[in-house]
Amino acid sequence: MAMSTRTKRRLAVGAAYPVLGGVVWYLYEGLGLAALTLVLVVALGALEALVPDEEGGGHVERSAIRRSFWVGLLLPLGLGLLYVSERIVGAAHELIWAWRALPLLALAATVGWRGYALSRARGNQRQVEVALAAATGGVLAALALYALGTESGVAAMGFEDSGAERMRGVLGVLWPATLVVSLAALFAMEMAYRVMPVEEAIELRRVSAAAGTGLSIALSLVFVASMSYVATERDVTRDLSYFKTTRPGEQTLRMVERLDEPMRVVLFYPPVNEVLERLRPYFDELDAASDALSVEVQDHALSFELAQRHRVSRNGFVMILRGPDGEGQQAEQFEVGVELESARSRLRTLDARFQQHFARLATRPRDLHLTVGHRERSASPTDGDAEGERLSELSTALQRSNIQSRNLGVAEGLANEVPENARAVAVIGPRSPFLPEEAQSLLRYVGRGGRLLVFVDPDVDHGLDPLLHGLGVSIPRGVLTSSTHHMRRRTGEADRLAVYSNAYTAHPTVTLANRYRSQVVSVFLRGGAIERREGAELRGAAVTFPLRTEGTFWLDTDGDLQRGAEEPEGRFNMIAAITVPVDGGEEGRAVVIADGDFITDQLIGNRGNGFVLMDAVNWLVGEEQVLGPTQTEEDVPIRHTREEDELWFYATSFGAPIPLLLVGVWLAWRRREGKRRETTPKGAPEAAASGGAAAAPAEERPTDREAAADEHAAGEDAPTASPVAAAPREEEEE
């Protein structure tokens, strides 16, 4: 098979170019090689585009479209030479004028070729050439914008100082976007146009679709690049996922603000790390809260001595330091992790973990004595309490605040005297009675300046009446019930026992709850009321009620959850705060809350209950940072009753699938009926009933495969249409 003249010419150039290029490079270096390449491309392109092949007999049909592989290289070659001259050679080169002249010549040749092709184009070809010329003009416009964005270009436009900087920024974004869009459209149209050898085969719709595809891709790239540029310049991160790191809680900030000596927080992380970026906002806020706290980031590999002294084995740890560097320096540390996926759960509880370790260094250890031996609420599951009635959350909060709980029972001297070193005593939900000696011991403890916190149920024989009467209060018979101010738990009348109120006063035991009273309430579960009792045994005892009920409340004494004739509505006190003056010492203090479940796991998660507990403990102990809430983003598990679980099971197992199954059966039946009507010919039932010859036997009817074979045979006998004539028909079918 004989090769065409074009093929022979290209093979000859491919063989000679490496040798000739090597000689020119040796004599004139890069500039000579670039000039040689440009001259060859222009000469060969002009030769192929203007001179016909020998096989054509020297005659070119007007309908034939003359193209050249080499002409197509002019524009990319010009852009490549422009990049080399501006980015690699540089303005300091002595022959920069020659380097800049080469790309200008290549671009001029491109424009000349576009003008020549447009002048000799007719019909559909002219429309395509106009679109290609417009895309080429977009490339040239992008280069013009690049020239205007240089220092000399901005100065020529008369911009100075900040105006010049702003204009350079605008043009620096505009010219790449214009270049990418124009090149993408030009390349897409050229690829579609190249497979159309004659004017009659030109499909304007295909060229237009190709241009649209190129523009879509280019504009998408420009949009993504623009968003990336803006995000990089502004350095703003937006996390739209469910995950979020906690912020410092109010109690944590208060502890940091009250620091009386310098402390350091060291984050052992590499400089670039996703988890570190999540930690920075939290610790930046702590750093700004106090001058005594400093926060620094150190890589474990670069701080080996500090890490070895405090036994930090790797990156991913947060360490809190107290005291000067040396052997006597105290340290607390906890791990967060360096991988974001594994650190998510720890970041959600960051405030609680930091507060716990920070309190160990910043506050002195304290004790809280808890009475035992009367079936009090307990944190241990071995004591028989149901899951929601335990004190697990309270135990965690005490540990976090550097408070150690100690038992106080008959074995520890409760029936005689409360130990002198007991800073505070708590009685939490007893379900067996105290001995009279124990109740009197607690009363004497408050009388000599002790601090007592009591949670008791109204419908339990707790044996603490001597204590309460001695403090000047009493708990009447009956459980607080409400038909309006109750929590909806099981949608029954039993919900009336889960009452709530936010009628706080200005007493220190409800400071936080009163501050957020529009957002929080305190919940009582089978709680009671507290009344003032005259004739307190402790002289000078003053009683204040920080929380009262509002709305429809009554004391249910018969257990029917209905307000009877002997159960009048009223306003009841729910919490009592008592102060007892002591000669020559600190006053005694007591807080009585008529609900043994008030701080159990099922209620302490309510912010109103947590706030009251925190402020009550802080007021009793006389310190403002003993116990406090923390910020957390940890997911709260959804708990259902057994009846709710059964309802969800049957709803998901049968309630959802059965309707879908019925809809599917109905749709299948409709589709089947539609097909049956389409395949049954009109009048077929009547013909079959009369036994006429109209209904041919099934075996005599031609099958679909036989009918298709007949059509194929008929198509082979038909005359074949020319490709040029068939093209419009295919276009009409499309």
| Alpha helices (runs of H) in 290-339, residue ranges in sequence order | 304-309
- Residue 555's pLDDT is what? 93
- What is the distance between the alpha carbons of residues 287 and 147, in angstroms, rounded to a whole number? 48
- Name the CA radius of gyration of the chain, rounded: 45
- Residue 70's pLDDT is what? 60
- Residue 693's pLDDT is what? 43
pLDDT lower than 70: segments of the chain = 1-17, 19-21, 23-28, 44-72, 197-199, 235-245, 491, 623-644, 681-734
Task: Strand 403-408: give its sheet, edge to edge.
Answer: 403-408, 366-371, 425-428, 451-455, 588-593, 573-580, 542-548, 503-504
- Residue 727's pLDDT is what? 42
- What is the distance between the alpha carbons of residues 465 and 463, in angstroms, rounded to a whole number? 6
User: What share of the chain has pLDDT > 70, as a percent?
Assistant: 80
- Residue 688's pLDDT is what? 45
Total Cβ atoms within 10 A of residue 533: 17
- Residue 629's pLDDT is what? 54
- Residue 236's pLDDT is what? 62
- What is the distance between the alpha carbons of residues 461 and 458, in angstroms, rounded to a whole number? 8
Interior CA angle at 113 toward 107 and 115, to 5°? 105
Question: Is residue 71 classed as helix, strand or coil in its secondary structure?
Answer: helix
Element (H, E) at 267: strand 263-268
Q: What are phi and psi of 250, to 5 degrees?
A: -60, -40
- What is the distance between the alpha carbons of residues 28 and 102, in angstroms, rounded to a whole number? 15
- Minimal CA–CA distance to 458: which of 438, 486, 478? 478
Total Cβ atoms within 10 A of residue 656: 10
| Alpha helices (runs of H) in 556-656, residue ranges in sequence order | 601-604, 607-621, 642-650
- Sorted by sequence, the CB contacts under 8 Å of residue 618 that are 6+ apart come out as 508, 624, 625, 626, 627, 628
For each of the domains in the chain, give its residue range(s) and CATH number, in order of start.
Answer: 22-50+62-234 (no CATH), 250-362 (3.40.30.10), 366-476+527-549+572-633 (3.40.50)
Report the residue count for the chain: 734
Q: What is the DSSP letter of 409?
A: S
Measure CA of the first residue to CA of the last residue in the chain; give whole Å.
Answer: 38
- What is the distance between the alpha carbons of residues 36 and 24, in angstroms, rounded to a whole number? 8
Question: Is residue 462 classed as helix, strand or coil in its secondary structure?
Answer: coil
Could you give the C-alpha distances from 224 to 219, 228, 232, in angstroms and in order? 9, 6, 12
- Minimal CA–CA distance to 220: which of 188, 177, 172? 177
* Cβ atoms of 464 and 409 closer than 8 Å: no
Distance of CA 431 to the CA centre of its chain: 47
Total Cβ atoms within 10 A of residue 246: 21
Task: Strand 293-298: give its sheet, edge to edge.
Answer: 293-298, 263-268, 317-322, 330-335
- Residue 690's pLDDT is what? 45
- What is the distance between the alpha carbons of residues 270 and 338, in angstroms, rounded to a whole number? 9
Question: Is residue 428 classed as helix, strand or coil in its secondary structure?
Answer: strand
* Cβ atoms of 371 and 414 closer than 8 Å: yes
Both tokens assigned to 134: 């417009």
Total Cβ atoms within 10 A of residue 645: 11
Tell me: the pLDDT tens digits for 349-406? Answer: 898 889 888 888 887 778 899 999 999 998 887 777 888 889 988 888 888 777 888 9
- Sorted by sequence, the CB contacts under 8 Å of residue 630 that are 6+ apart come out as 246, 249, 251, 252, 349, 351, 352, 355, 400
The burial class, CB within 10 Å (0-12 / 13-18 / 19+), for 205 is exposed
- Residue 687's pLDDT is what? 46
* Cβ atoms of 195 and 169 closer than 8 Å: no
- Minimal CA–CA distance to 281: which of 300, 268, 295? 295
- Residue 668's pLDDT is what? 87
The burial class, CB within 10 Å (0-12 / 13-18 / 19+), for 487 is middle
- Residue 26's pLDDT is what? 57
* Cβ atoms of 252 and 354 closer than 8 Å: yes
Sign of CA dihedral 611, 460, 526, 575: negative
- Residue 231's pLDDT is what? 77
- Minimal CA–CA distance to 517: which of 529, 498, 534, 504? 504
